[in-house]
A and B are shown apart, each in its own frame.
Chain A
Amino acid sequence: MIEGFVALYIFMLAAIAGYEVISKVPVILHTPLMSGSNFVHGIVLVGAMVALGQAQTGLEQLVGFVGVVLAAGNVVGGFVVTERMLDMFKASGRGDRR
């Protein structure tokens, strides 16, 4: 378990990293980047799997199952949508160069 100040340090450094990492994004990439970061927080699937894996009663299993379904949708949907958007991006970029 990560507790107390170690957690605070992680929080601070991750927040700064997130802020810095996209600070120079051009306007045209706003929507794809939103979609990409939407995919990244799909990591919630890992947590949903652990929560479901520890469930014992029927209620816990039901809520955990709903969590896994939702999280899987986030991951897969986020990836497919981002991929399609960036694919279009590549195609138009190549067209410009020709």
Chain B
Amino acid sequence: MNFVIQVAYFAAALLFILGLRQMSSPATARRGILWAGVGMLAAVLVTFFAPDVRGVGNYLLMFLGIGLGGGLAWWFGRRVAMTDMPQMIALYNGMGGGAAAAIAAVELVRGAPMSSATQVLAAVGALIGAVAFAGSLVAFAKLQRLLKSSLRFPRQRETNLAVLAFAALLGLLVAFTSGGHSGGMLFLFLAAAFVFGVLMALPIGGADMPVVISLFNALTGLAVGLEGFVLGNPAMMIAGIVVGAAGTLLTQLMAKAMNRPLGNVLFAQFGGDDATVAAEG
């Protein structure tokens, strides 16, 4: 069975890359998503038989979770108006980031045996995943008009950097505490990363959102790839890193298509620059 699982993961990684390649050309785009879908189906199906997955209760939770998350996503994805697509991408992307953070949390709380380098990777992946989760939720809320104003305050860039540094410090503490965690420090770390994600996305205006969603998409990919390294799962590693790199390039291309340098989108509206703030207001 182990061999079958490895073959399925290999096929999935290959199909993802070929699928993305076809998705970048109009004539073959539809075939591309189908190929990627077949790869995904194969990878998920064999994972039910993975040797390290055990426990009847866990299997029950797994089916319940997939049914719940998948069912709701399917229902909303079918119903949503075509013009509201960008925020749906943001929402689903954020869920992926949150899942990556959750994987790291389980592995670290469980005290899974891993080298300290792997523990750092797990913490970095959790940080990036939680930031992408929070940022994507803010992007979703803004495009969905649940959140109308753009929060701006003096010294915003410095404040954000301080929050990020605090989160990174907590992450290092978590990574270098060997053995299982009670959870307290870990969840404080994830909360700090979440706050940074919110702060990062809040000041960005609606028109720039697609570029930012693409950036969070790349970040989620990177987080997934890192958690793939932690779990030793090659399909996750390759798919995650490929999306991380492709998403980064796509973010640059989108910013260029809008005639806005990426730095402008992300930082132009942070504190100090009163001219921009006045012009926006």
Closest 8 CB pairs of A and B: A53-B53, A67-B102, A18-B245, A72-B69, A77-B73, A80-B77, A68-B65, A18-B242
Inter-chain CA distance A49–B40, complex, in Å, is 13
Inter-chain CA distance A47–B61, complex, in Å, is 15
For residue B107, CB closer than 8 A to chain A, the reply is yes
Contact with A along B88-113 (1 / 0, CB 8 A): 11011101101110110111011010
Total residues of chain A contacting the partner, CB 8 A: 81
A85 and B95 within 8 A (CB): no
A22 and B240 within 8 A (CB): no
In-complex Cβ contact of A47 among B112, B221, B224 (8 A)? B224
Inter-chain CA distance A81–B87, complex, in Å, is 11
For residue B165, CB closer than 8 A to chain A, the reply is no
Return the chain B residue nearest A3 by Cβ.
B115
Q: How far is the CB of B46 from chain A (nearest CB, A)?
A: 9
Q: Which residues of B contact A48 (CB under 8 A)?
A: 65, 99, 102-103
Contact with B along A31-49 (1 / 0, CB 8 A): 1111111111111111111
Contact with B along A42-61 (1 / 0, CB 8 A): 11111111111111110111
Q: Which residues of B contact A33 (CB under 8 A)?
A: 20, 23-24, 246, 250
B61 and A30 within 8 A (CB): no
Inter-chain CA distance A39–B242, complex, in Å, is 12
For residue A95, CB closer than 8 A to chain B, the reply is no
In-complex Cβ contact of B44 among A22, A39, A75 (8 A)? A75
For residue B26, CB closer than 8 A to chain A, the reply is yes
Which of B152-160, B199-207, B230-238, B272-280 touches A? B230-238
For residue B3, CB closer than 8 A to chain A, the reply is no
Inter-chain CA distance A17–B246, complex, in Å, is 8
Inter-chain CA distance A20–B104, complex, in Å, is 29
